[in-house]
Amino acid sequence: MIFVTGGAGFIGSNFVLDWLANGGEPVVNLDKLTYAGNLNNLLSLRQDTRHIFIKGDIGDTTLVTKLLATHGPRAILHFAAESHVDRSIHGPGEFIKTNVNGTFSLLEAARAYYAELSETERAGFRFLHVSTDEVYGSLGPADAPFTEQTAYAPNNPYSASKAASDHLVRAYHHTYGLPTLTTNCSNNYGPYHFPEKLIPLVITNALAGKALPIYGDGKNVRDWLYVGDHCAAIRRVLQDGRPGETYNIGGWNEKTNLDVVHTLCDILDKLAPGKAGSYRDQITFVTDRPGHDRRYAIDAGKIERELGWKPAETFETGIQKTVQWYLDHQDWVCDVQSGEYLKWVEKNYAQREGRGE
């Protein structure tokens, strides 16, 4: 049995689906089901007795303690997090509550649980914390990619809250001996991605005939990682990662935001052509967000050297699969484009001045 937090979110749900599809042991899945947590992501598991879903908060120590005692997991995989930079700028309090306080509560419950395990059970137990490359700050055009030794320099409330959670996880290993593992990943993309992030936002807006908003000059660079590759990397770290270690997970795919949007438009022009012209005609540049990091890039050499993992997808193959998934799952898109999501879009973009490409 493994215990997963945030398993109805984008990366978490992909991991749960991937884990069970690959014959993994049963999963206890704890998710608060905020705006980005979606049980529709897990519909294929409705009749699967290996998947036990509980709606709840990682900050509810009583609940988490009870679940750990009841199910006796051999590992905790911590995906649950508030993860959108723009939302953190508008409302940082929720990010501190979930990413910092929530992680602290989960670590405390894990520490108490671990203390009661037998010596054999302790030897096999792991607490795997899923984090982000954004904790490292911003790179210049000629800077070497982030390694596990790069100093932390978070530049927005989201990345600061994740940096704090990383430090807590590290401290619980060094102070209490909790066998922790931390992964810092680059930008994920793929199925079930909530359409506030760049790639799903562009796909859904393009098909709806809406503007494709790009911050600033569109030259901010990100390293793109297909979510299926990320799930495979996490499995490897859980299996053979050394307790107390950090592993950077990247796709070796640096792209500017504008390049990504152009690629998406070109694929959509072929797979779902509009009534007139190219989807590129819908591109609109909008006022940049505060503290927008210029470049992220991950050096994923350590995980390849030590654990033999490297991404199976190139950006070209992964993005093709992603666009096709969204075209094939328009019902899922329609279901999530309501309520809180629409409120966020109005709040974030209504005040931004747009201009054509």
Residue 167 pLDDT more than 70?
A: yes
Overall number of domains in the chain: 1
118: containing domain = 2-190+224-252+292-312
Distance CA 258, CA 189 (A): 16
Tell me if 324 is assigned to some domain.
Answer: no
What is residue 345's predicted lDDT score, i.e. its pLDDT? 57
Tell me if 207 is assigned to some domain.
Answer: no
* Range 138-142 average pLDDT: 94
Catalytic position from the list 134, 196, 223, 254: 134
Tell me if 353 is assigned to some domain.
Answer: no
Would you give the distance in Å from CA 317 to the centre of its chain? 20
pLDDT in tens, 211-262: 999 999 999 999 999 999 999 999 999 999 999 999 999 999 999 999 999 9
Tell me if 319 is assigned to some domain.
Answer: no
What is residue 355's predicted lDDT score, i.e. its pLDDT? 46
Find the CATH number of the domain harbouring 119: 3.40.50.720
Catalytic position from the list 86, 133, 223, 254: 133
Tell me if 248 is assigned to some domain.
Answer: yes
Tell me if 66 is assigned to some domain.
Answer: yes
Tell me if 301 is assigned to some domain.
Answer: yes
List the Cα angle 133/346/161 in 5-degree steps. 25
Distance CA 11, CA 79 (A): 7
Q: 103-115 and 157-176 are packed helices; what angle lies between their axes, rounded to 10 degrees?
A: 20
Band the pLDDT of 356: cuts 50, 70, 90.
very low
Tell me if 45 is assigned to some domain.
Answer: yes
Q: Is 133 a catalytic residue?
A: yes
Q: Is 313 a catalytic residue?
A: no
Q: What is the pTM of this model?
A: 0.93
pLDDT in tens, 68-109: 999 999 999 999 998 777 788 889 999 999 999 999 999 999
Band the pLDDT of 348: cuts 50, 70, 90.
low
Catalytic position from the list 113, 114, 158, 279: 158
Q: Is 279 a catalytic residue?
A: no
